[in-house]
Amino acid sequence: MPEVYNWQLGRKMLYPYEERHPKWQFAFVFNINRCLACQTCSMADKSTWLFSKGQEYMWWNNVETKPYGGYPQFYDVKITQLIEQVNPGGQVWNVRVGRKHHAPYGVFEGMTIFDAGAKVGQAAIGYIPTDQEWRFVNIYEDTATSMRALVEGIDKTGFSRDEPWKMTGSSLPEHETFFFYLQRICNHCTYPGCLAACPRKAIYKRPEDGIVLIDQNRCRGYKKCVEQCPFKKPMYRGTTRVSEKCIACYPRIEGKDPLTGGEPMETRCMAACVGKIRMQSLVRIGEDGLWAEDRWHPLYYAIRVEQVALPLYPQWGTEPNGYYIPPRHSPRGYARQMFGPGVDNAIEKYLVPSRELLAVLQLWRASQQIIFRYDVIPGPKVFETQIHGKRFEMYNDTVLGFNKSGKEVARIQVEEPIYIRPAERVTWL
Ligand code: SF4
Ligand code: SF4
Ligand code: F3S
C-alpha cells in the first residue's frame, strides 16, 4: 500500500491511493464554546437536501451532545475500540518533537484506521451501524455526566488507556458534571476513508476545491463507504439503493447562487448558524501538499498561526478539514482524546485572546460570502483586566473581511456598538 504524508499526525501513513492534492481545500472552523444546540444548521441542511423519501433518518449536519451522545450512537467509541483491538499498545502522541510546520501537534505513534485496516485486510477499519444506532440525531441531549462515571466509562470501553490520555481529576472541582455540543458535517478529508473503501471507485475528491462526492451513477450501494468512514457521514438510501453524503453545498461554493453575483458563498448550515459559531472557506494547498502560507486568511490564521482550532479525532488518520475551537469547560483529558495534544494551547489562546485573534473571531458569521482575506484597523484601548493571572487588553479594532475578488464584504468592530433609542420611541416614558 502507498505511503502518504499526514501533517496532522506529523508522519507518513498507509493509504490505498498515491498522494494527490487539490488546488484549494474546503475547510471550516466551529467554535464549540458558542453553540446553543438550536439545530438551525441541521434544519437548514435537512430542508435543502434531505426531505425526500428514503432520507428520513439522514442528517448530513448534526449537533450531538458529548460525552454520551453520538449520531449514529457510539460511533467514536466503537471506532476507537476497533483500532485498539488491533493495536492494544495504545494511541500515543510524541509531543517532544516540537511544533513544526509539517508536524504542528507532534508525531502520532499509534495506528490510524488505515494502519489498522491493513492488519485485517481492509482499506480501513470500520463497521456498519445498526438501524437502532441511527435512530436519534441527538440522543442524550443536554445529559451531563460526572467525572467519576466518565472515567469508569472510559476504562470500561478501553478509550485511551495510554498514560498521557488518562484523566486523573476534574478541572471543575466546584461542580463535576459537564456536557458540550459537537457540530458535525462531512470533513471533506484529505485522505477520505469513504473514498479509500469504495470498490466501485464511485467516490472522488474534486481537484478544484477538495470537496468529496459520491457519483450517484457509479454507486451500486456496496456500503463500504458507510463502513469505513470513521465519522459515519455517508448514508445509505434504501429507496434508491445508493449512498449519499454531504456535498458541501457545492453550487454555492461555485458562486451559482444569484445572491452573491458569482462570488463563492458559504454552505447552508454555516450561513444559518444562529450562535455565530461557524466559519467556512477555501484554503490554498501548496506544491508539497501542505497548506500554503496565507497569513491574512482567517482560517489559516486560526488553525496554522494561532493554533486555536484543532481537527476532530486526528488520530484516525483521514486528515479531516473540519476544525474546532475546543470546549473550555470539559475535562482536558476528554478534550485531548477528541482533538489531540494541541488542546491546552488552543484553550489558553481562546481564554486570553491576542489582540488580533479577538478581532478575527468577529468574522464568524459576518457574511454569507466566503471570506478569503482579512485586515485589522487599529482602534483605541477600551478595557483591561487579568484573566487566569494573565494581562488582557481589549482594543476596539475594526476587522475587515474580503471575498475571493478582493471586495470588502464585512466590517465589524470588536466592541459591540450601543444604540440609544431616541426618546420618542421609548414607550414607557
Ligand atoms: Fe469521507 Fe467521512 Fe471524510 Fe466525509 S468525513 S470525506 S464521508 S471519510
Ligand atoms: Fe450550534 Fe449554530 Fe447549529 Fe445552532 S445553528 S446548533 S448555534 S452550530
Ligand atoms: Fe461505493 Fe459506497 Fe456506493 S462503497 S458503491 S459509494 S455505497
186/208 Cα distance (integer angstroms)? 18
Question: Mean of the pLDDT values across residues 12-25?
Answer: 97
Question: Mean of the pLDDT values across residues 148-158?
Answer: 46
pLDDT of residue 376: 98
Evaluate whether 339 touches 346 at the Cβ level (below 8 Å).
yes
329/335 Cα distance (integer angstroms)? 9
More confident residue, 363 or 102: 363
Note the ligand closest to the C-alpha atom of 244. 3
Q: pLDDT, tens digit, for every residue of 409-429? A: 999 999 988 888 888 887 765
- Whether 327 has a pLDDT exceeding 60, the answer reads yes
Are 120 and 31 within one domain? yes
Question: Mean of the pLDDT values across residues 97-114?
Answer: 88
Q: What's the gap between Cα 210 and its chain centre?
A: 15
- Whether 404 has a pLDDT exceeding 90, the answer reads yes
Q: Which residues span the domain enclosing 373? A: 356-413
Of the listed ranges 3-7, 65-69, 339-343, the one predicted with least confidence:
65-69
97/105 Cα distance (integer angstroms)? 9
Of the listed ranges 158-167, 246-255, 325-334, 415-424, the one predicted with least confidence:
158-167
Are 191 and 252 within one domain? yes
252: its cell numbers: 454555492
Are 266 and 351 within one domain? yes
Query: Who lines ligand 2 at CB under 6 A?
Result: 35-41, 63, 183, 272-275, 277-278
Q: Which atom of ligand 3 is nearest to the CA of 221?
A: 7
Cα 30–Cα 36–Cα 39 angle in degrees, nearest 5: 85
Which H or E run includes 335? helix 332-339
Indicate the residue type of 92.
Answer: V
Q: Is the CB of 191 under 6 A from ligand 1?
A: no
- Whether 163 has a pLDDT exceeding 50, the answer reads no
> Is 13 domain-assigned?
no
Evaluate whether 346 touches 270 at the Cβ level (below 8 Å).
no
**What DSSP assignment string belongs to 40-65?**
HHHHHHHHHH--STT-TT--SSEEEE
Note the ligand closest to the C-alpha atom of 112. 1
Asked which of 325, 355, 385 is the last residue of a domain, the reply is: 355
177: its cell numbers: 458534571
Q: How many CB atoms lie within 10 A of CB 22?
A: 19
**What DSSP assignment string belongs to 113-135?**
HHHHHHHTTSSS---PPPTGGGS
Are 349 and 400 within one domain? no
> Is 8 domain-assigned?
no
Instruction: Report the residue among 59, 142, 273 best suited for mutation to probe ligand 2: largest number of ligand atoms under 8 A from its CB.
Output: 273
Query: Who lines ligand 3 at CB under 6 A?
Result: 197-198, 200, 202-203, 214, 219-225, 242-243
- Whether 391 has a pLDDT exceeding 50, the answer reads yes
> Is 12 domain-assigned?
no
> Is 421 domain-assigned?
no
More confident residue, 176 or 336: 336
> Is 2 domain-assigned?
no
Q: Which residue is closest in CA terms to ligand 3's atom 3?
A: 219
- Whether 165 has a pLDDT exceeding 80, the answer reads no
Are 342 and 362 within one domain? no
pLDDT of residue 177: 76
Are 296 and 371 within one domain? no
Q: pLDDT, tens digit, for every residue of 212-236? A: 999 999 999 999 999 999 999 999 9
**Quick one: pLDDT band at residue 21, thresholds 50, 70, 90?**
very high
Asked which of 309, 330, 355 is the last residue of a domain, the reply is: 355
Evaluate whether 230 touches 126 at the Cβ level (below 8 Å).
yes
> Is 216 domain-assigned?
yes
pLDDT averaged over the chain? 91
**Quick one: pLDDT band at residue 95, thresholds 50, 70, 90?**
confident
419: its cell numbers: 444604540
User: How distant, in Å, are the alpha carbons of 148, 197, 380, 397 from that of 42?
Assistant: 32, 27, 39, 33
pLDDT of residue 420: 86
Residues 6+ apart with CB under 8 A from 253: 26, 209, 211, 264, 265, 267, 282, 370
Of the listed ranges 123-127, 166-170, 191-195, 413-417, the one predicted with least confidence:
166-170
Of the listed ranges 66-70, 181-185, 421-425, the one predicted with least confidence:
421-425
- Whether 153 has a pLDDT exceeding 60, the answer reads no
Are 401 and 269 within one domain? no
Q: pLDDT, tens digit, for every residue of 366-389? A: 999 999 999 999 999 999 999 989
Three-state DSSP class for residue 109: coil
Question: Mean of the pLDDT values across residues 190-207?
Answer: 98
Q: Which residue is closest in CA terms to ligand 2's atom 3?
A: 41
Are 277 and 406 within one domain? no
pLDDT of residue 173: 40
How far, in Å, is the centroid of ligand 3 from the Cα of 82?
A: 22
326/312 Cα distance (integer angstroms)? 9
7: its cell numbers: 501533517
> Is 381 domain-assigned?
yes
Of the listed ranges 99-113, 168-182, 234-248, 274-288, the one predicted with least confidence:
168-182
Are 269 and 372 within one domain? no
248: its cell numbers: 458541501
Evaluate whether 396 touches 415 at the Cβ level (below 8 Å).
yes
**Quick one: pLDDT band at residue 149, thresholds 50, 70, 90?**
low
Are 371 and 244 within one domain? no
Are 241 and 215 within one domain? yes
How far, in Å, is the centroid of ligand 3 from the Cα of 130?
A: 17
Three-state DSSP class for residue 320: coil
Q: pLDDT, tens digit, for every residue of 340-351? A: 999 999 999 999
User: How distant, in Å, are the alpha carbons of 12, 24, 358, 370 from that of 262?
Assistant: 39, 18, 30, 11
Residue 134, classified by CB atoms within 10 Å of its CB into exposed (0-12), middle (13-18) or buried (19+), is: middle
Three-state DSSP class for residue 84: helix
What is the DSSP pairing of strand 373-377 with strand 398-402?
antiparallel
Instruction: Report the residue among 28, 187, 316 best suited for mutation to probe ligand 1: largest number of ligand atoms under 8 A from its CB.
Output: 187
104/92 Cα distance (integer angstroms)? 15
The number of distinct structural domains making up the chain is 2
Question: Mean of the pLDDT values across residues 64-71?
Answer: 92
> Is 33 domain-assigned?
yes
Note the ligand closest to the C-alpha atom of 183. 2
380/397 Cα distance (integer angstroms)? 7
From the list 366, 390, 344, 341, the residue with the least C-alpha distance to 92 is: 341
- Whether 58 has a pLDDT exceeding 80, the answer reads yes
pLDDT of residue 110: 93
Buried b (16+ CB within 10 A) or exposed e, 207-237: eebbbbbbeeeebeebbbbbbbbbbbbbbbb
pLDDT of residue 154: 46
Of the listed ranges 84-98, 169-183, 396-410, the one predicted with least confidence:
169-183
Of the listed ranges 127-131, 233-237, 247-251, 335-339, the one predicted with least confidence:
335-339
Are 350 and 361 within one domain? no
Indicate the residue type of 288.
Answer: D
